Amino acid sequence: MNTVPPTEAAFRAGTIAVLGRPNVGKSTLINAMVGAKVSIVSPRPQTTRHRLLGIATFPEGQLLLVDTPGIHGQQKRAMNRMMNRAARGAVEGVDAALLVIEAGRWTDDDALAYQALKTSGVPCVLVINKVDKVTDKAALLPFIAEVTKERDFSSVYPLSALKKRGLDGLVKTLLKLVPESEPLYADDEITDRSERFLAGELVREQLMTRLGDELPYSATVEIEKFELDGEMLRIAAVVWVEREGQKPIVIGKGGERLKAISTGARIGMEKLFDRKVFLETWCRVREGWSDDEAALRRFGYSD
Ligand code: GDP
Ligand code: MG
């Protein structure tokens, strides 16, 4: 007797915007779902300056995760204005959105991000991140009740992006929120950005991590050379600062700091690109660009 084979669930694919105030762990969460560092992470707010796509492919479907610079209340400088425009624009045309917050805290900036999302009308999943930092787990339930009260979330996931705990349920839910579709990218693609761009970001990650509060937000990175030489990548990076006086901060005593930045970035590149990297790093001065939108565009910070 013929039996009808069980129908395979159709493949699903779509786009998810990831929003939230700076430093809640949006980039960490995207990297955890993608399984590679496509978006740089640092302990400092506003590490993510560009909109980028993390591509996470599973047997059941594919999620295009839009990382955004965090939405926040202060828009004093041109850089901040641009980042906010990019964040709001990220919601257009997506299948669903993730609002990421930190366990135990709901701030005015979280409310601002929620508002930006709600006006878009897309289904919104709440991620309560950094639960690993919560010592009193019993306090989590009343917090969840409080933040979801009178707000419209299609589901809520407390998790730890850093420890990669609690991600499976979130991925399942997101796959249900995207339509049936062929894969939108090849299954070995992890981002829409070039390797050259990612190389620059890995240098910037080291700058932000190693310089802490000493580094002005205006510092940026340009990749001057990105060449394949046999099996090896030859990369040259320039760290641009605003003033001559900032150069010693980046370079450090006897060049030690820039050397450490370069080594850290090279290790990240070798991991991400899966090949040997020869990286040269320089520090140069370009005055007063962070307040000037035209100059920002020249550096690729447009939205
Ligand atoms: P974004 O600005 O929202 O993209 O935040 P990042 O992904 O850059 O993360 C900001 C900081 O929070 C970094 O120091 C991360 O290591 C840290 N972080 C992110 N997720 C978690 C988490 O689940 N637990 C803890 N303890 N720290 C986290
Ligand atoms: Mg980020």
42 Cα–ligand 1 center, Å: 7
In whole angstroms, how large is the CA radius of gyration of the chain? 21
Residues whose Cβ atom is located within 5 A of ion ligand 2:
26-27, 48
Reduced to 3 states (helix: H, G, I; strand: E, B; else coil), residue 157 is: strand
User: How far is the centre of ligand 2, averaged over its atoms, from the C-alpha of 69 (Å)?
Assistant: 6
**In this model, does residue 209 exceed pLDDT 80?**
yes
The arithmetic mean of pLDDT across residues 248-259, rounded, is 94
Distance from Cα 45 to the centre of ligand 1, integer Å: 10
Regarding the beta carbon of 23 and ligand 1, being less than 6 Å apart is answered: yes
Given pLDDT bands bounded at 50, 70 and 90, which one contains residue 214?
A: confident
Average pLDDT over residues 119-128: 90
pLDDT value at 77 more than 70: no
Cα–Cα dist 264/204, whole Å: 11
3-class secondary structure per residue, 180-231 = ECCCCCCCCCCECCCHHHHHHHHHHHHHHHHHHHHCCCCCEEEEEEEEEECC
pLDDT surpassing 70 at residue 216: no
Mutate to test the pocket of ligand 1, among 162, 202, 205, 206 (most ligand atoms within 8 A of CB): 162
The band of 297, judged by pLDDT with boundaries at 50, 70 and 90, is low
- Amino acid identity of 165? R
Ligand nearest to the CA of 131: 1
- Specify the ligand 1 atom closest to the Cα of 133: 26
The pLDDT value given to residue 114: 86
Q: Mapping DSSP to helix (H, G, I), strand (E, B) and coil, where does residue 56 land?
A: strand
Residue from 27, 28, 29 whose mutation best tests the ligand 1 pocket (most atoms within 8 A of CB): 28
Question: Counting ligands in written order, which one lies closest to the CA of residue 39?
Answer: 2
Average pLDDT over residues 68-81: 59
Report the residue among 26, 30, 40, 41 best suited for mutation to probe ligand 1: largest number of ligand atoms under 8 A from its CB: 41
Give the pLDDT band (50/70/90) at residue 293. Answer: low
Residue 20 has pLDDT above 80, yes or no: yes
Q: Is 61 in the pocket of ligand 1 (CB under 6 A)?
A: no
The pLDDT, as a whole number, for residue 238 is 95
Percentage of the residues of the chain whose pLDDT score is greater than 70 = 83
Q: Which CATH fold topology does 12-177 show?
A: Rossmann fold (3.40.50)
The pLDDT assigned to 302 comes to 41
Q: What is the pLDDT of residue 70?
A: 64
Distance 229 CA to ligand 1 centre (A): 35
pLDDT, the chain, mean: 87
Return the pLDDT at 211.
Answer: 87
Q: Would you say residue 289 has pLDDT above 70?
A: no
CA–CA distance, 205 with 39 (Å, rounded to integer)? 9
Residue 162 main-chain phi, psi, to 5 deg? -65, -45
Residue 1 has pLDDT above 70, yes or no: no
CB 200 within 8 A of CB 221: yes
Q: How far is the CA of 39 from the centre of ligand 2 (A)?
A: 7
CATH number listed for the domain at residues 195-298: 3.30.300.20
pLDDT band at 303 (very low <50, low <70, confident <90, very high): very low
Q: For 135-146, what is the mean pLDDT? A: 93
Q: Is the CB of 133 within 6 Å of ligand 1?
A: yes
Rounded to a whole number of angstroms, the distance between the first and last alpha carbons of the chain is 61
Cα of 40 vs centre of ligand 2, distance in Å, is 7
Reported confidence tier of residue 71, pLDDT bands at 50, 70, 90? low
Domain positions in the chain: 12-177, 195-298
What does the pLDDT read at residue 87?
A: 59
Q: Hey, whose CA ends up nearest to atom 8 of ligand 1?
A: 41
Instruction: Pick the more confident residue, 43 or 85.
Output: 43
